[in-house]
Amino acid sequence: MGVIPHSRPLLGDAEAHAVAQVVRGGQLAQGDRVTAFEEAVARLTGQGQGVGVNSGTSALYLALLGLRVGPGDEVVLPSYACAALWHAVRKTGAEPVLADIDPTTYNISPLATARAITSRTKAVIVPHLFGLPMDLADLKVSGIPIIEDCAQTLGIAVRGRPVGSEGDMTVCSFYATKLLTTGEGGMVLGRTEDLMTRVRRLRLYDEHDTLEPAFNYKMTEMQAAMGLCQVNRLDAFLARRRAIAARYAEAVTRAALVPPLAPPVMAHAYYRFVVRLPRPVGPVLERAEALGISCRRPVFRPLHRYLGLAGFPESDAAWEHALSIPIYPALTDDEVDRIVAALPVLLAA
């Protein structure tokens, strides 16, 4: 038996055919398929329009520039998150200000965010982590622009509204192992015309009337063709994730641990199936590897640990105790059976 990877994409004949059509047609650079994909993701997120780009990191950087974030400004973001957030903020010249997380949801803590906001705060970045959306009501009272990161929650609703529809701007990543993939790629979404016009202008490095700093952040037609296929399959992907999560939840509950749960007003995408262990996760990762199952810490390393900072107890606790178990639509039934059978051993005290 081979090792079950922590993540892998689900691709099929439809994606292969769509990409092959682009290759045969000869129009490889940004064109009509990118426009169609932008429109499709805008509908998914409830935003007015989208701008497809070459990565999720680029999307976040351009969203920040769209809000005119720059030197002298501060941007609040969670410490327990992908390093791409910190890189995007630093690239604008602004200062990233870290906030701790909620221990139950792993999303950024509204109380910690409120404490981090100063007169220099220009934006707050809210990644909806592991497939569980965050209710933005408590954050919106500050009046600070919010950038939602929906890479892990596409297709999910909060109180009947799509995740991504509440923020001043929204970003997505379509990396190989995200909810839907274009291989690499990302998108900036919003409803304010001047903001989106600015982002669209920043995506293109040439053919402007004036010579302003810009770069090439464009998405290809091949990426968009694959993305359109994945959008059409997203409901099936989410249904498969929920079915697997239900099986895992039974095993986790039998081990006297708490499976990831969603409040009644929102759904869960189960981008990650994260279990909080009562002991350090390191030995459990080694035990899983010995059983041929690649589990991981759901966040590689909290940002404050890179920077040698203290004062983020919930992020530290999550890093020490959170275990991410493989969950994705490409898992076969046999692989799911193997994981379920292994969970009592992995989760045993």
- Report the half-sphere exposure of 257 (CA within 13 A, side-chain side): 23
Task: State the average pLDDT over residues 56-73.
Answer: 97
- Cα–Cα distances in Å, from 33 out to 40, 52, 92, 151? 10, 10, 30, 20
Q: How far apart are CA 308 and CA 208, in angstroms?
A: 43
User: What pLDDT was estimated at residue 258?
Assistant: 85
Q: Identify the CA nearest to 58 among candidates 128, 151, 152.
A: 151
Quote the pLDDT of residue 320.
97
Between these two residues, 6 and 213, which has the higher pLDDT value?
Answer: 6
Question: What do you get for the CA distance between the two ends of the chain, in Å?
Answer: 26
Provide φ and ψ at 119, rounded to 5°: -65, -15
pLDDT of residue 317: 98
Domain ranges in the chain with CATH number 3.40.640.10: 13-229
What pLDDT, on a 0 to 100 scale, did the predictor assign at position 159?
Answer: 83
- pLDDT-derived band at 337, boundaries 50, 70, 90: very high
Distance CA 236, CA 234 (A): 5
pLDDT confidence band for 267 (50 / 70 / 90): confident
Residue with token string 């202008």 = 201
pLDDT (average), residues 283-312: 97
Closest CA to 329 of 244, 225, 231: 244
Q: What whole-number distance in Å separates Cα of residue 260 and Cα of residue 272?
A: 9
| Continuous H helices in the chain | 13-25, 32-45, 56-66, 83-92, 110-116, 137-140, 193-203, 221-254, 282-290, 303-307, 313-321, 333-347
pLDDT of residue 104: 92
pLDDT in tens, 234-258: 999 999 999 999 999 999 999 888 8
User: What span, in angstroms and rounded, lies between the C-alpha atoms of 229 and 49?
Assistant: 19
For the cut 70, the answer to whether the pLDDT of residue 116 exceeds it is yes
Percent of the chain with pLDDT over 90: 86
Radius of gyration, alpha carbons of the chain: 20
Q: What is the pLDDT of residue 231?
A: 97
Query: What are the pLDDT digits (tens) for 186-206?
Result: 999 999 999 999 999 999 887
Q: Is 280 left (phi over 0), alpha (psi -120 to 50) or beta?
A: beta
pLDDT band at 210 (very low <50, low <70, confident <90, very high): confident
Model confidence at 94: pLDDT above 80: yes
pLDDT score at 349: 61
The Cα 134–Cα 110 span in angstroms is 10
pLDDT at 158: 83
Averaged pLDDT score across all residues of the chain: 94
Q: Are strands 74-78 and 49-53 parallel, antiparallel or unpaired?
A: unpaired
Q: Say which CATH class 234-347 falls into.
A: alpha beta
Q: What is the pLDDT of residue 205?
A: 81
CA dist list (Å): 130 to 192, 221, 306, 341: 28, 29, 22, 23
Q: Is the pLDDT of residue 212 over 80?
A: no
Tell me the per-residue pLDDT of 77-86, one tens digit each, with 9 for 90 and over: 999 999 999 9
Give tens-digit pLDDT for 43-54: 999 999 999 999
Contact (Cβ atoms closer than 8 angstroms) between residue 188 and residue 206:
no
Architecture of domain 13-229: 3-Layer(aba) Sandwich (3.40)
Instruction: Assess whether pLDDT exceeds 80 at residue 209.
Output: no
Residue 92 has pLDDT above 90, yes or no: yes
Which residues in the chain are classed under CATH 3.90.1150.10?
Answer: 234-347
Q: Check residue 266 and give its pLDDT.
A: 74
- 209: CB partners within 8 A, 6+ apart: none
pLDDT digits (tens, 9 = 90+) for 315-326: 999 999 999 999
Q: Is 26 left (phi over 0), alpha (psi -120 to 50) or beta?
A: left
Give the residue with greater pLDDT, 250 vs 349: 250
pLDDT at 265: 66
Phi first, then psi: give them for residue 161, nearest 5 degrees: -110, 140
